[in-house]
Every structure is written in C-alpha cells, then in structure tokens.
C-alpha cells in the first residue's frame, strides 16, 4: 500500500505544478526518526536534574510537615480512635394490631412526646364503650341498693319502736308473752334486712369500681396504641409501613437518642489503667477537626478484648485492649442536635491527670 500512496501523491503534485515549476517547489524532508539509543542518551542526560528536583520537592514537603505538624500531646493524655454513636431506641407496638398512620419518616428530627405512628384501635374503642355502659349500669345498681337500704332502715326503726312499746306493755301485763316475742322477732328481721341491704350497696360500689378500672385500662391501651417519641432524637429507620399487621412488640421505627451520644475507644492495658470514670475528655471528629467536643468517661470495661483469656508473658499483656466509653454531655448534644450523625469517625482524647491543662487545639469551644 505504501508505493501506491506515494504514486498518488506524485500524480497530484504533477497536476498542481507543471514540469517547469516542479523544480522551483522545495521538497520537505522528514527528520530522521529517533533511535532507541538516542532516547536513552537523552534520558540519561536529564536524570540528574530529575533526581535533584525530586529531592528538592521531598525536602520541601518534609519541611512543611515539620513546621505545621501539631505539637506532641502531654503524657497525661491518652488517645484512641472510634466512631460517634447515638443510643438507638426501638419504637414498637405494645399490642398486636394494624398500622393505621405513620406521621414521620426516616431522617426526621422528633421531640419528646411527639406522635410518630397510630395503630388501629376500633376493637378497643368498642370494648371501651361496653365498659362505659357497665359503669353506668353499676351506678344505677348503687342507686337501687341505696334505696333498698333506706327502706330496710325505715323498717328497722319501726320495729324498734314497736319493740320499745311492747316491752313497756309486757311489764305492765297488758300484752302476752307471745306478742312480746313477735315484736322481738320483727326487730331482729329488720336488723338483718338492713345488714343485707348494706352489703348489697357495698357490692354495687365495688362493681362500679371494677367497671371504672376496666374502662380506664382500655383507655390506657388505646393511648398506648399511639406511638410517641420517648426522647428527642432522629428517626434512623422506618421498619413497618401503613396497613401492615404487627405482632406485640413489632418494630415500627428505630430512632437515635440525642441525649446519649458517645464514642467507644480501645486502649491498651497501661493506658486503660490510668483512666478513671468521670475523667475529662475531648472528641474530635474528622468532619469537624477544629471543634473539639467536651465529654467525660462513663464506662470502662472490666474485661479485656482481642486477646486470649490466659496471658503469661509481658508481650501478651501488652496486647490487652479495654473498651472505654466517652460520652458527650446530654445538654450539649441536644443543643447541637443538627450536627449529630451516628457513625462519624474521629479521635477521643482522655485527660488522666486533672492538673494537666488541655493543649490549645483541644480547648473546648462553644
């Protein structure tokens, strides 16, 4: 193909330039191609300069890092890395039922007492109406028994009066012993009737109290079917949907508690042994490196992790790691709730000696 292309180029040149003018047209000669040996010689010629430039760049980078590196931490400060977490709370049903309404979704910020979901309570409401009707019936029974008690009391008063007159007449001999005994029996019957009427009144009162308790229990159950946020937080997951039938304890949401935000770090034996509950701490998140967050140590594991149960040598003891929990003050975490993100990585610094001051870069900010 190469000879044919050259012939076509010569034909085009002959057409564009007559033979007498072709001698005047200068020919453009291609530069000779560089051989491999020529490229190698040029690279070797520039290699010392490249080495010098790389050395200068490395030296400049090292000098910049040395000048801008953070000052070393005091010996009284121990440090560990971890992820910030918020305490999860499951919003679940107390009774089996159908989800009637969801009022929030994932990512929503909620306040304590805010309604999150409503369950279908038509069956409980029907039972409540029945219990309320029983309450009204018990009230009527109490009215009836009180009226009966008043009637029995009137009969008792009459029987007592008749007995008093019979006693006087019997002493004077105006009535027989038979009549006196009849009056005594009538008095005893009236007394027993009053006692029975009083017992029926007490029974009716207890029935009314039981009906009221049943109605109150149904009201509590209906109220418990309205799922509310126990604390201020953020909805992390929506597990159920509208119309789903859940068993008792079925989860609808999982929320994060803004009042319990912490970071778990793992410290070796020597450093963990210097940490005490209540020690002052700072949390520095990768997302906010210039804003140290004040915190306190609230938990130290009593058992080591990442190591066998039995250790015999100093080297094995050095591998012991203890979990330490550093918690942010609840008031601070709630006031900065918009910045709470579970899972953000960072570092936790613990001050093991109260006499040591925090470095300037770890001073607490508002």
**pTM reported for the whole predicted model:** 0.64
The residue that leads in pLDDT, 132 or 24, is 132
- 6-20, 98-112, 312-326: the lowest-pLDDT one: 6-20
For residue 305, the 8-state DSSP code is: B
Is pLDDT at 119 greater than 80 in this prediction?
Answer: yes
**pLDDT band, residue 106 (cuts 50/70/90):** very high
Separation of alpha carbons 350 and 366, rounded Å: 19
Burial class (CB in 10 A: 0-12, 13-18, 19+), 241: exposed
Q: Which token pair is 290?
A: 């210039």
pLDDT single digits (tens) 134-162 = 999 999 999 999 898 898 888 888 888 88
What is the pLDDT, as a whole number, of residue 297? 95
342 vs 111, more confident? 111
Sort strands 97-102 and 226-228 into parallel, antiparallel or unpaired.
unpaired
Interior angle at CA 15, CA 9 and CA 19, nearest 5: 100
Which residues on neighbouring strands pair with residue 41, listed in sequence order?
A: none
Q: How far apart are CA 317 and CA 309, in angstroms?
A: 11
Using the predicted structure, report yes or no on whether residue 1 has a pLDDT greater than 50.
no
Band the pLDDT of 339: cuts 50, 70, 90.
confident
Confidence (pLDDT) at 25: 47
Strand partners, 326: 263, 297
Per-residue pLDDT, averaged over 110-131, amounts to 95
User: Cα dihedral angle (285, 287, 293, 297), rounded to 10 degrees?
Assistant: -20
| Nearest alpha-carbon partner for 255 in 114, 86, 117, 100 | 86
Q: What pLDDT shows up at residue 99?
A: 96
pLDDT tens digit sequence for 352-363: 988 889 888 888
**Neighbouring residues of 261: CB distance < 8 A, sequence distance ≥ 6:** 84, 85, 86, 87, 327, 328, 333, 340
351, 363 Cβ separation under 8 angstroms: no
Q: Helix, strand, coil % (nearest 5) of the chain?
A: 50, 25, 25
Q: Which two tokens stand for residue 14?
A: 């002959």
- Give the pLDDT band (50/70/90) at residue 227: very high
For residue range 165-188, what is the model confidence (pLDDT) as tens digits? 888 887 888 888 888 888 888 888
For the segment 241-277, what is each residue's pLDDT rounded down to a tens digit?
999 999 999 999 999 999 999 999 999 888 888 999 9
Mean pLDDT (the chain) is: 82
C-alpha distance from residue 293 to each of 260, 325, 327 (Å):
14, 14, 10
Q: What percent of the chain stands above pLDDT 70?
A: 78
Range 21-49 average pLDDT: 56
């Amino acid at each position: 193909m190469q000879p044919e292309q050259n012939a076509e180029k010569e034909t085009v040149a002959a057409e564009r330039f007559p033979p007498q003018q072709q001698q005047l047209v200068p020919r453009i000669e291609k530069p000779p191609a560089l051989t491999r040996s020529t490229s190698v010689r040029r690279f070797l010629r520039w290699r010392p300069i490249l080495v010098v430039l790389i050395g200068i760049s490395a030296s400049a980078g090292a000098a910049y890092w040395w000048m801008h590196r953070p000052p070393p931490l005091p010996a009284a400060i121990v440090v560990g890395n971890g992820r910030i977490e918020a305490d999860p709370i499951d919003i679940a049903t107390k009774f089996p039922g159908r989800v009637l309404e969801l009022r929030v979704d994932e990512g929503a910020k909620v306040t304590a007492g805010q309604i999150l979901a409503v369950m279908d309570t038509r069956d409980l409401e029907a039972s409540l109406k029945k219990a309320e009707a029983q309450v009204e019936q018990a009230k009527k029974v109490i009215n009836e028994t009180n009226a009966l008690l008043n009637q029995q009391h009137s009969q008792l008063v009459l029987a007592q009066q008749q007995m008093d007159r019979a006693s006087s007449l019997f002493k004077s001999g105006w009535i027989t012993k038979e009549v006196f005994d009849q009056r005594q029996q009538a008095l005893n019957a009236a007394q027993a009737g009053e006692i029975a009427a009083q017992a029926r009144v007490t029974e009716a009162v207890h029935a009314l109290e039981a009906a009221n308790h049943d109605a109150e229990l149904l009201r509590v159950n209906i109220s418990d079917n309205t799922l509310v946020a126990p604390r201020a937080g953020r909805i992390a997951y929506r597990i159920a949907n509208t119309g789903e039938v859940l068993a008792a304890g079925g989860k609808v949401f999982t929320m994060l508690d803004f009042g319990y935000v912490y970071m778990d770090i793992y410290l070796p034996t020597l450093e963990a042994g210097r940490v005490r509950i209540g020690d002052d701490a700072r949390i520095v998140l990768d997302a906010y490196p210039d804003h140290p967050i004040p915190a306190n140590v609230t938990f130290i594991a009593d058992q080591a992790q990442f190591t066998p149960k039995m250790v015999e040598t100093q080297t094995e003891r050095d591998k012991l790691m203890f979990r330490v929990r550093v918690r942010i003050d609840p008031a601070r975490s709630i006031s900065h709730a918009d910045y709470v993100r579970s899972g953000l990585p960072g570092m936790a610094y613990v001050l093991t000696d109260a006499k040591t001051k925090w470095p300037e870069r770890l001073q607490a900010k508002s």
